[in-house]
Amino acid sequence: MISAYAWLMTGLAAVNCWQVQRQRPLHAGMTSGYAWYWTQISALGVLFAILFSGAVSAMNPAWTSGLQYLSAILMLTPAVCMLGARRPGVAAWQWFVVLPLIFVLAWPGAVQIVNSNGRVPVQLSLPALIGFCLVALMSAAPGLGRGMTVACLLQLAAAAAAVSPVIPSLPHSTLLSASAALLQLLATTRSGNCLRQHQAQLQKAASLHGKTTHLWLLFQDLYGMIWAQRLIERARDFERSEKWQCSLTLDGFTTLATPAETEQAIARALPAFRWLLGRFFAGEWVDAQLNVSGRNVLPRPSESAASSLARPQTDSDDSTSKTLIQ
């Protein structure tokens, strides 16, 4: 029975790899493409962990548990990647945050395997387990509260199932650890459907208000509430300096008395809105979604001069944006 179940989970893990591959176009023109690569790596990690846990060939128990623990760690990388998904530092984030995180979390298991000469399965100590749980919760938290809530919870459950074989207080269960493939497949399917729905609604929207709203909701579901709040704070700086008639909220731009006034107010705020999203989306992609020209928009600062989104612009930048908007 266990062998049949392992083969079933192996098939589901392979399907998940295929589903992740199909979602690559959904991240075109976005910095979330980096997270897509980590998602594919984590999907392959789950596949190999199940294959070498008995479905195809049984490895040494120590190396098997180590591979299972590594697959659980890799499940955390897409969410951690999204925490640093802003240009221009997104590429450096992979080298200086994501990869070191994998090394730090995997180090206790690697030490145990080396010290036991590969004879004793990995058993996480309480501090190592607490560190894993903290990273899992902190990385998943920004995705909660919007359309990706179910996908985040499923991914969190998949990581918990994958790490279960190396938790000393839990009885070793091949059924539980292999179920990570099913949970990860459900998370992948849900997140893909969410992105496709947003992009379909974005294409159907006729008004500028509708397009900016769906684009903003897509951003929130993809990058999480932390980045959304930081962009809202930055938009308030523009609102004060440019004297906008509308405000950017979690639900999009506020409406005015008439649709015509709303469209005019959003058109005035559009250059700054596009500039804010330009840290995450390619400018050409944003222009294509909003059906606007790339002219007369706030220029994106050079990578060397890029500053925090939460920090207000200088007076010279504000005067420049006023001129461009007018």
Cα distances (angstroms) measured from residue 154 to each of 23, 129, 150 = 18, 20, 6
Final residue of a domain: which of 199, 218, 233? Answer: 199
- Residue 217 sits in the same domain as residue 144: no
CATH code: domain of residue 145? 1.20.1070
In the prediction, which pLDDT does 144 show? Answer: 83
Q: Does the pLDDT at position 318 exceed 70?
A: no
Name the CA dihedral angle for 178, 184, 185, 191, rounded to a multiple of 10 degrees.
170
- Residue 54 sits in the same domain as residue 191: yes
- Residue 182 sits in the same domain as residue 239: no
- Residue 182 sits in the same domain as residue 214: no
| Strand extents, DSSP E, 176-270 | 248-249, 252-253
Final residue of a domain: which of 183, 199, 215? Answer: 199
In the prediction, which pLDDT does 2 show? Answer: 53
CA proximity to 164, closest of 154, 155, 177, 179:
177
Rounded mean pLDDT of 130-157? 89
Distance from the Cα of residue 255 to its chain's centroid: 30
- Residue 33 sits in the same domain as residue 172: yes
pLDDT per residue over 218-272, tens digit each?
999 999 999 999 999 999 999 999 899 999 999 999 988 899 999 999 999 999 9
CB 6 within 8 A of CB 53: yes
Q: Does the pLDDT at position 315 exceed 60?
A: no
Rounded to an integer, what distance in angstroms lies between the CA atom of residue 261 and that of residue 31?
33
pLDDT per residue over 22-59, tens digit each?
999 999 999 999 999 999 999 999 999 888 876 545 56
Model-level pTM? Answer: 0.85
- Residue 119 sits in the same domain as residue 235: no
- Residue 191 sits in the same domain as residue 223: no
pLDDT per residue over 79-135, tens digit each?
999 999 999 999 999 999 999 999 999 999 999 998 888 888 889 999 999 999 999
Of all residues in the chain, the percent with pLDDT exceeding 90 is 59
- Residue 167 sits in the same domain as residue 76: yes
- Residue 142 sits in the same domain as residue 192: yes
Q: Indicate the number of domains in the chain.
A: 2
- Residue 238 sits in the same domain as residue 152: no
Domain that holds residue 195: 2-199
In the prediction, which pLDDT does 308 show? Answer: 41
pLDDT per residue over 162-221, tens digit each?
999 899 887 776 777 778 999 999 999 999 999 999 999 999 998 999 999 999 999 999
pLDDT per residue over 268-313, tens digit each?
999 999 999 999 999 899 998 888 754 444 454 433 333 344 343 4
In the prediction, which pLDDT does 69 show? Answer: 93
- Residue 102 sits in the same domain as residue 246: no
Query: Please, where are the H alpha helices in 116-148?
Result: 126-140
- Residue 164 sits in the same domain as residue 246: no
CB 36 within 8 A of CB 24: yes
Final residue of a domain: which of 199, 223, 247? Answer: 199
| Six-digit token string for 136 | 């899992």
